[in-house]
Amino acid sequence: MSEFGTLQDRVRRKSLLNKAMSPEDCIQFFKPGQNLMWSGFTPAGYPKAVPIALADHVEANNLQGKWKFNLFIGASVGAETEDRWATLDMIDRRWPYQTGKNIAKGINEGRIRMGDKHLGHFAQDAGYGFYTKNGRYDIGIVEVSAIAEDCGLALTSSCGIVAEALHLCDKIIIEVNTGQPSFEGMHDIHMQQKPPNRAPFLITEAHTRIGTHYVPCDPDKIIAVVESKHRDKGRAFADMDDTSEAIASHIMEFFAHEIKMGRLPENLLPLQSGVGSIANAVVGGLAKGPFSNLSVYTEVLQDTMLDFFDGGNLKYASACSLSLSETPGFPRFFDNWEKYFDKIVLRPLSISNSPEPIRRLGVIAMNTPVEIDMYAHANSTLVGGTRMINGLGGSGDYLRNGYLKIMHTPSIRPSKTDPLGITCVVPKAPHIDHTEHDLDVVVTEQGLADLRGVAPKERAKLIIEKCAHPEYKAILHDYLEMATKECLAKGVGHQPQLFDRAFKMQQNLAVNGTMRIKNWDIKIDLCE
């Protein structure tokens, strides 16, 4: 028996106990080529027991590359599941966001077909039937805390796309997690309708509830109930450093200025912060700041959000996922359950990332890109324009619809071939996920550039001056002046770029291992 109860305690629809099985018993339901939907969102609330059993089966029977499935999950899940599946060549298609060295390797080697998508669109597009031939999915695997008498499912540490998935899957396997406290009561599940019958989401504050605690489920679809004691393998976060503290300091000064100018209230507006160590560290810096009575409306709650709560600065938080670290995040959360439980609402992805409440609430969006170019186009997904990292995620949902849209990044990133590092401010991004129209503010440890109402050429000067690393400022200024002169002379100078030079820094990195080019000279013969 777990200290958190038994399967019999958690399954209150007693007829379903007749379908209780071991993870290994469920292998009979799977066949190569099936379309699978899982619960889970940014290593939280994902099924573990059955996917691990399937991986064990493939490995033990030398079925690598023979048992391949198509995975559709709200966002990334734990490395012990999808990343291990990737090492065993068990994934054919993967939509729309993933995390793991092996799955990223499989995608970039062409063995795994991945599609990237704004997460706010993914759940509804799945419901529209865009991703499979018949719009259906063979099996859904969902982790829950409890099953109510009416077969309503109380989810665990995330909502993801479960609300939509249960209606799209022909068969459902339920993993009841008794290895952690029950999250029953934390969720706010609202089942949206398809157009033309869709109604507004009447969310007027971050903690507004518009639904129920449970996802409705047809008991006749459930083919197995599996007990699981596996906890989420949440991602580890880097500690705050001088860079992240400087970024947070610039943002706090900016907020204070906006309050003084009357553009923000004293308690700001609901905050959104993206995933990753930098975003986590920036929130940690804000948690130490002077602002109080704050609220959060976001996708994920990371470790430093707990600092926000503990400091008394944060009143309420709405999210799709508790994306805490395996340690110390989740243990800290469970040890202080009573402190946090009533202050958090977990919502389906289709609501947490919906443009409607984001715009109504006036969310302040803060996300981290791979790089930003001097005109404020941002690349969040593809290194060098070709190598997939994780995916777009929900950053675009917030950056297109928020009240203030902020991108924060170090001015340089570590490089194995350049001891200084490579610049995160470039003349032109080799891939663009967020256009200049979506960004209001760019921040690095060097400074903050407020781009609102600033025309492109002045915007470029501002970004270079405020945000670029000192080692790269001169070379970026030289490019801007050269491009401006040549383009204006031709009457095409609104947003000057030189196609033959725009990517010279990236090309030099690929060939010579550094972006610190000596000059902008080129030797290209385009014609014979």
- 9-38: per-residue pLDDT in tens? 999 999 999 999 999 999 999 999 999 999
Is 143 labeled as catalytic in the residue annotation? no
Q: What's the CA gap between 267 and 294, in Å, rounded?
A: 5
Contact 75, 321 (CB under 8 A): yes
Question: Which class does domain 7-228 fall in?
Answer: alpha beta
Contacts of 113 (CB under 8 A, 6+ apart): 92, 93, 94, 107
CA separation, residue 40 to residues 72, 159, 168, 472, 527 (Å)? 10, 7, 16, 41, 53
The CATH topology of domain 242-471 is Glutaconate Coenzyme A-transferase (3.40.1080)
Q: Model-level pTM?
A: 0.94
Per-residue pLDDT of the chain (528 residues; tens, 9 = 90+): 458 899 999 999 999 999 999 999 999 999 999 999 999 998 999 999 999 999 999 999 999 999 999 999 999 999 999 999 999 999 999 999 999 999 999 999 999 999 999 999 998 899 999 999 999 999 999 999 999 999 999 999 999 999 999 999 999 999 999 999 999 999 999 988 889 999 999 999 999 999 999 999 999 999 999 999 999 998 777 777 889 989 999 999 999 999 999 999 999 999 999 887 778 777 888 888 899 999 999 999 999 899 999 999 999 999 999 999 999 999 999 999 999 999 999 999 999 999 999 999 999 999 999 999 999 999 999 999 999 999 999 999 999 999 999 999 999 999 999 999 999 999 999 999 999 999 999 999 999 999 999 999 999 999 999 999 999 999 999 999 999 999 999 999 999 999 999 999 999 999 999 999 999 998 755 454
| Alpha-carbon torsion, ordered 251, 257, 258, 259, to 10 deg | 110
Q: Which helix (H) or strand (E) holds 486?
A: helix 470-489
231 secondary structure, DSSP code = P
Helix runs in 201-276, H state only: 242-260
What is the number of other CB atoms lying within 10 angstroms of the CB of residue 139? Answer: 23
Q: Please state, in angstroms and rounded to a whole number, the distance separating the CA atoms of residues 443 and 404.
A: 13
Partner residues linked to 153 by β-bridges: 147, 215
Q: Is cis: bond before 328, omega within 30 of 0? A: yes
Q: Are 407 and 348 in contact (CB under 8 A)?
A: no
CATH 3.40.1080.10 intervals, the chain: 7-228, 242-471
Does residue 96 have a cis peptide bond before it, meaning omega lies within 30 degrees of 0?
yes
Given 164, 227, 299, 371, which residue is catalytic?
A: 299
